[in-house]
Amino acid sequence: MPNTATMTKPAPAAPAVAPLHPNLRIPNVITIASGKGGVGKTWVAVTLVHTLAKKGYKSLLFDGDLGLANVDIQLGLLPKHDLGSVLAGTVSMADAVARYTDGGFDILAGKSGSGALALLSGDRLNMVRDGLAALARRYDRVVVDLGAGIETHVRTLAATAGIVLVVATDEPTSLTDAYAFIKVTAMQHPGTDIRIVINQADNAREGRRTYETLRKACEQFLSISPPLAGVIRTDSKVKDSIRAQVPLLIRYPTCNAAADVEAIASSLLVR
Protein backbone atom coordinates (compact mmCIF):
# COMPACT_ATOMS: atom_id res chain seq x y z
CA MET A 1 0.00 0.00 0.00
CA PRO A 2 1.28 3.47 -0.76
CA ASN A 3 2.13 5.54 2.27
CA THR A 4 -1.01 7.53 2.82
CA ALA A 5 1.00 10.22 4.62
CA THR A 6 2.11 11.47 1.21
CA MET A 7 -1.38 11.25 -0.24
CA THR A 8 -3.00 14.25 1.31
CA LYS A 9 -5.17 16.48 -0.85
CA PRO A 10 -3.02 18.80 -2.97
CA ALA A 11 -2.80 22.28 -1.53
CA PRO A 12 -4.51 24.83 -3.79
CA ALA A 13 -1.34 26.99 -3.84
CA ALA A 14 -0.03 28.11 -7.24
CA PRO A 15 2.55 25.73 -8.69
CA ALA A 16 6.17 26.85 -8.46
CA VAL A 17 6.72 26.23 -12.16
CA ALA A 18 4.47 27.69 -14.83
CA PRO A 19 2.26 25.07 -16.50
CA LEU A 20 3.52 23.88 -19.83
CA HIS A 21 1.70 25.30 -22.82
CA PRO A 22 0.10 22.34 -24.62
CA ASN A 23 1.79 23.47 -27.85
CA LEU A 24 5.15 22.78 -26.24
CA ARG A 25 4.31 19.11 -26.02
CA ILE A 26 6.03 16.90 -28.54
CA PRO A 27 3.29 14.46 -29.53
CA ASN A 28 5.45 11.59 -30.80
CA VAL A 29 7.64 11.51 -27.69
CA ILE A 30 7.02 8.88 -25.00
CA THR A 31 8.85 9.49 -21.71
CA ILE A 32 9.51 6.74 -19.17
CA ALA A 33 9.46 7.94 -15.56
CA SER A 34 9.08 6.31 -12.17
CA GLY A 35 9.83 8.17 -9.00
CA LYS A 36 11.68 5.28 -7.37
CA GLY A 37 14.85 3.99 -9.03
CA GLY A 38 15.50 0.45 -10.17
CA VAL A 39 11.93 -0.42 -11.19
CA GLY A 40 12.86 -1.19 -14.80
CA LYS A 41 12.62 2.15 -16.67
CA THR A 42 15.72 1.65 -18.78
CA TRP A 43 14.83 -1.91 -19.68
CA VAL A 44 11.25 -0.88 -20.55
CA ALA A 45 12.56 2.04 -22.65
CA VAL A 46 14.98 -0.20 -24.58
CA THR A 47 12.41 -2.94 -25.15
CA LEU A 48 9.63 -0.53 -26.07
CA VAL A 49 11.72 1.31 -28.67
CA HIS A 50 12.91 -2.03 -30.05
CA THR A 51 9.30 -3.21 -30.36
CA LEU A 52 8.32 -0.02 -32.17
CA ALA A 53 11.26 -0.41 -34.56
CA LYS A 54 10.27 -4.01 -35.26
CA LYS A 55 6.78 -2.77 -36.09
CA GLY A 56 8.33 -0.54 -38.75
CA TYR A 57 8.30 2.78 -36.92
CA LYS A 58 11.36 4.97 -37.35
CA SER A 59 12.38 5.22 -33.71
CA LEU A 60 14.91 6.91 -31.45
CA LEU A 61 15.91 5.97 -27.91
CA PHE A 62 16.95 9.08 -26.01
CA ASP A 63 18.79 8.47 -22.74
CA GLY A 64 17.76 11.40 -20.61
CA ASP A 65 19.27 10.00 -17.42
CA LEU A 66 22.40 12.04 -16.89
CA GLY A 67 23.08 10.72 -13.43
CA LEU A 68 23.13 6.98 -14.11
CA ALA A 69 22.81 6.68 -17.85
CA ASN A 70 22.85 3.05 -18.80
CA VAL A 71 21.00 2.45 -22.05
CA ASP A 72 24.37 1.77 -23.70
CA ILE A 73 25.37 -0.62 -20.91
CA GLN A 74 22.19 -2.68 -21.25
CA LEU A 75 22.85 -2.91 -24.99
CA GLY A 76 26.60 -3.46 -24.74
CA LEU A 77 27.44 -0.36 -26.81
CA LEU A 78 30.35 2.03 -26.65
CA PRO A 79 28.85 5.26 -27.98
CA LYS A 80 31.23 7.76 -29.59
CA HIS A 81 29.13 10.71 -28.47
CA ASP A 82 26.52 11.23 -25.80
CA LEU A 83 24.27 13.84 -24.25
CA GLY A 84 27.19 14.88 -22.05
CA SER A 85 29.21 15.95 -25.10
CA VAL A 86 26.15 17.76 -26.46
CA LEU A 87 25.81 19.71 -23.19
CA ALA A 88 29.55 20.41 -23.23
CA GLY A 89 29.06 21.92 -26.69
CA THR A 90 31.49 19.62 -28.49
CA VAL A 91 28.92 18.01 -30.75
CA SER A 92 25.41 18.81 -31.98
CA MET A 93 22.51 16.72 -30.77
CA ALA A 94 21.84 15.40 -34.26
CA ASP A 95 25.50 14.39 -34.67
CA ALA A 96 25.49 12.60 -31.30
CA VAL A 97 22.83 10.17 -32.53
CA ALA A 98 24.12 6.72 -33.46
CA ARG A 99 22.50 3.86 -35.33
CA TYR A 100 21.97 0.65 -33.40
CA THR A 101 21.86 -1.66 -36.38
CA ASP A 102 20.97 -4.86 -34.53
CA GLY A 103 17.86 -3.24 -33.09
CA GLY A 104 16.93 -1.19 -36.13
CA PHE A 105 16.65 2.04 -34.13
CA ASP A 106 18.76 5.09 -33.32
CA ILE A 107 20.20 6.03 -29.93
CA LEU A 108 21.26 9.21 -28.25
CA ALA A 109 23.30 7.89 -25.33
CA GLY A 110 23.34 9.48 -21.91
CA LYS A 111 26.41 10.21 -19.89
CA SER A 112 26.90 8.52 -16.56
CA GLY A 113 28.25 10.78 -13.90
CA SER A 114 27.97 13.96 -15.95
CA GLY A 115 25.72 15.37 -13.22
CA ALA A 116 22.08 14.63 -12.71
CA LEU A 117 19.45 16.29 -14.85
CA ALA A 118 18.36 18.09 -11.70
CA LEU A 119 21.65 20.01 -11.64
CA LEU A 120 21.28 21.50 -15.12
CA SER A 121 20.64 25.20 -15.38
CA GLY A 122 17.30 26.27 -16.81
CA ASP A 123 19.08 27.25 -20.06
CA ARG A 124 20.66 23.84 -20.39
CA LEU A 125 17.35 22.13 -19.73
CA ASN A 126 15.72 24.24 -22.44
CA MET A 127 18.56 23.27 -24.75
CA VAL A 128 17.85 19.59 -24.10
CA ARG A 129 14.14 20.13 -24.62
CA ASP A 130 14.55 22.14 -27.82
CA GLY A 131 17.05 19.62 -29.15
CA LEU A 132 14.67 16.80 -28.36
CA ALA A 133 11.84 18.62 -30.15
CA ALA A 134 14.02 19.16 -33.24
CA LEU A 135 15.21 15.54 -33.27
CA ALA A 136 11.70 14.18 -32.78
CA ARG A 137 10.64 15.70 -36.12
CA ARG A 138 12.87 13.15 -37.86
CA TYR A 139 11.22 10.14 -36.23
CA ASP A 140 7.88 8.42 -35.95
CA ARG A 141 8.44 7.80 -32.23
CA VAL A 142 11.02 8.86 -29.64
CA VAL A 143 11.29 7.02 -26.32
CA VAL A 144 13.02 8.95 -23.52
CA ASP A 145 14.47 7.11 -20.53
CA LEU A 146 14.33 9.53 -17.63
CA GLY A 147 16.25 9.25 -14.41
CA ALA A 148 14.56 8.28 -11.19
CA GLY A 149 13.17 11.01 -8.98
CA ILE A 150 10.56 13.70 -9.06
CA GLU A 151 12.73 16.82 -9.34
CA THR A 152 11.42 19.75 -11.37
CA HIS A 153 13.73 19.10 -14.34
CA VAL A 154 12.75 15.44 -14.60
CA ARG A 155 9.09 16.40 -14.52
CA THR A 156 9.53 19.25 -16.98
CA LEU A 157 11.18 16.93 -19.47
CA ALA A 158 8.61 14.21 -18.77
CA ALA A 159 5.72 16.57 -19.40
CA THR A 160 7.00 17.70 -22.81
CA ALA A 161 5.96 14.26 -24.05
CA GLY A 162 2.78 13.24 -25.79
CA ILE A 163 2.61 10.30 -23.41
CA VAL A 164 4.27 9.84 -20.00
CA LEU A 165 4.60 6.24 -18.88
CA VAL A 166 5.02 5.95 -15.13
CA VAL A 167 6.60 2.61 -14.24
CA ALA A 168 5.89 1.10 -10.83
CA THR A 169 6.18 -2.28 -9.16
CA ASP A 170 4.11 -3.64 -6.30
CA GLU A 171 6.69 -2.51 -3.73
CA PRO A 172 5.11 0.06 -1.41
CA THR A 173 7.96 2.55 -1.91
CA SER A 174 7.64 2.25 -5.68
CA LEU A 175 3.89 2.94 -5.49
CA THR A 176 4.34 5.85 -3.11
CA ASP A 177 7.02 7.40 -5.31
CA ALA A 178 4.99 6.83 -8.49
CA TYR A 179 2.05 8.52 -6.80
CA ALA A 180 4.24 11.46 -5.78
CA PHE A 181 5.50 11.81 -9.35
CA ILE A 182 1.97 11.71 -10.76
CA LYS A 183 0.76 14.21 -8.16
CA VAL A 184 3.32 16.91 -8.86
CA THR A 185 3.27 16.34 -12.62
CA ALA A 186 -0.52 16.54 -12.80
CA MET A 187 -0.55 19.68 -10.63
CA GLN A 188 2.16 21.54 -12.48
CA HIS A 189 1.48 20.29 -15.98
CA PRO A 190 -2.29 19.75 -16.17
CA GLY A 191 -3.45 17.75 -19.14
CA THR A 192 -0.34 15.56 -19.31
CA ASP A 193 -1.24 12.16 -20.74
CA ILE A 194 0.00 10.00 -17.85
CA ARG A 195 -0.33 6.23 -18.14
CA ILE A 196 0.81 3.56 -15.74
CA VAL A 197 2.96 0.50 -16.37
CA ILE A 198 3.15 -2.12 -13.62
CA ASN A 199 6.43 -3.96 -14.03
CA GLN A 200 7.74 -7.13 -12.40
CA ALA A 201 4.25 -8.42 -11.63
CA ASP A 202 3.72 -12.03 -10.53
CA ASN A 203 0.96 -12.31 -13.11
CA ALA A 204 -1.45 -10.10 -15.05
CA ARG A 205 -4.11 -10.27 -12.34
CA GLU A 206 -1.73 -9.21 -9.55
CA GLY A 207 -0.44 -6.44 -11.80
CA ARG A 208 -3.95 -5.09 -12.33
CA ARG A 209 -4.53 -5.15 -8.57
CA THR A 210 -1.39 -3.11 -8.02
CA TYR A 211 -2.56 -0.68 -10.69
CA GLU A 212 -5.96 -0.36 -9.00
CA THR A 213 -4.26 0.60 -5.71
CA LEU A 214 -2.41 3.41 -7.46
CA ARG A 215 -5.37 4.47 -9.58
CA LYS A 216 -7.67 4.68 -6.56
CA ALA A 217 -5.20 6.89 -4.71
CA CYS A 218 -4.99 9.17 -7.77
CA GLU A 219 -8.77 9.28 -8.08
CA GLN A 220 -9.39 9.90 -4.39
CA PHE A 221 -6.73 12.51 -3.74
CA LEU A 222 -6.03 14.05 -7.15
CA SER A 223 -9.34 13.52 -8.98
CA ILE A 224 -7.55 11.97 -11.93
CA SER A 225 -7.60 8.39 -13.12
CA PRO A 226 -4.49 7.58 -15.20
CA PRO A 227 -5.16 4.57 -17.41
CA LEU A 228 -3.19 1.33 -17.29
CA ALA A 229 -0.81 1.09 -20.26
CA GLY A 230 -0.06 -2.49 -19.33
CA VAL A 231 1.32 -5.06 -16.93
CA ILE A 232 4.74 -6.63 -17.49
CA ARG A 233 5.34 -9.92 -15.76
CA THR A 234 8.53 -10.79 -13.91
CA ASP A 235 10.53 -12.85 -16.33
CA SER A 236 13.92 -14.40 -15.60
CA LYS A 237 14.82 -13.84 -19.26
CA VAL A 238 14.97 -10.09 -18.59
CA LYS A 239 17.85 -10.42 -16.13
CA ASP A 240 19.50 -12.99 -18.36
CA SER A 241 19.49 -10.72 -21.41
CA ILE A 242 20.62 -7.66 -19.41
CA ARG A 243 23.49 -9.69 -17.99
CA ALA A 244 24.44 -10.78 -21.50
CA GLN A 245 24.05 -7.18 -22.77
CA VAL A 246 21.86 -8.46 -25.57
CA PRO A 247 18.38 -6.98 -26.07
CA LEU A 248 15.54 -9.22 -24.92
CA LEU A 249 13.88 -9.09 -28.34
CA ILE A 250 16.98 -10.58 -29.94
CA ARG A 251 17.72 -13.18 -27.28
CA TYR A 252 14.16 -14.20 -26.29
CA PRO A 253 11.75 -12.53 -28.74
CA THR A 254 8.75 -14.63 -27.69
CA CYS A 255 9.11 -14.66 -23.90
CA ASN A 256 6.40 -13.36 -21.53
CA ALA A 257 8.00 -9.98 -20.88
CA ALA A 258 8.50 -9.40 -24.62
CA ALA A 259 4.82 -10.16 -25.25
CA ASP A 260 3.78 -7.78 -22.47
CA VAL A 261 5.84 -4.92 -23.89
CA GLU A 262 4.46 -5.65 -27.35
CA ALA A 263 0.93 -5.24 -25.95
CA ILE A 264 1.91 -1.90 -24.40
CA ALA A 265 3.45 -0.70 -27.67
CA SER A 266 0.27 -1.57 -29.56
CA SER A 267 -1.88 0.32 -27.06
CA LEU A 268 0.35 3.40 -27.33
CA LEU A 269 0.09 3.41 -31.11
CA VAL A 270 -3.69 3.61 -30.89
CA ARG A 271 -3.31 6.70 -28.67
Ligand X SMILES: Nc1ncnc2c1ncn2[C@@H]1O[C@H](COP(=O)(O)OP(=O)(O)OP(=O)(O)O)[C@@H](O)[C@H]1O
Residues that bind ligand X (CB under 6 A): 34, 37-43, 65, 68, 148, 199-200, 232, 234-235, 238-239, 242, 257
In 3D space, the residue among 49, 17, 3 whose CA is nearest the CA of residue 268 turns out to be 49
Please say whether the beta carbons of 44 and 167 come within 8 A: yes
Beta bridge partners of 161: 26
Least distance to ligand X, CB of residue 21, Å: 29
Q: Which of 43, 179 has the CB closer to ligand X?
A: 43
Is the CB of 37 or the CB of 104 nearer to ligand X? 37
Q: How far is the CB of 63 from Mg ion (least distance, A)?
A: 9
Which of ligand X, Mg ion, none sits in contact with 82, Cβ below 5 to 8 A by type?
none
Which of ligand X, Mg ion, none sits in contact with 176, Cβ below 5 to 8 A by type? none
Give the nearest distance from C-beta 205 to ligand X in angstroms.
Answer: 16
Q: Which of 144, 118, 140 is nearest to 131 (CA)?
A: 144
Cα distances (Å, whole numbers) of residue 171 to 3, 167, 213, 221, 231: 11, 12, 12, 20, 14
Q: Which is nearer to ligand X, 136 or 201 (CB)?
A: 201
Q: 38 vs 113, which CB is nearer to ligand X?
A: 38
Binder of residue 242, out of Mg ion, ligand X, none (CB less than 5 to 8 A by kind): ligand X
Nearer to ligand X, 176 or 199 (CB): 199
Nearest approach in angstroms of CB 52 to ligand X is 17
216, interface contact from Mg ion, ligand X, none, CB < 5-8 Å by kind: none
Residue type, 186: A
CA angle (91 as vertex; 113, 33 as ends), nearest 5? 45
Choose from ligand X, Mg ion, none: what does 199 bind? Cβ within 5-8 Å by kind. ligand X
- Residues within the interface to Mg ion (CB under 5 A): 41-42
Please tell me what DSSP assigns to residue 147.
Answer: P
DSSP 187-225: HHSTT--EEEEEEEESSHHHHHHHHHHHHHHHHHHHS--
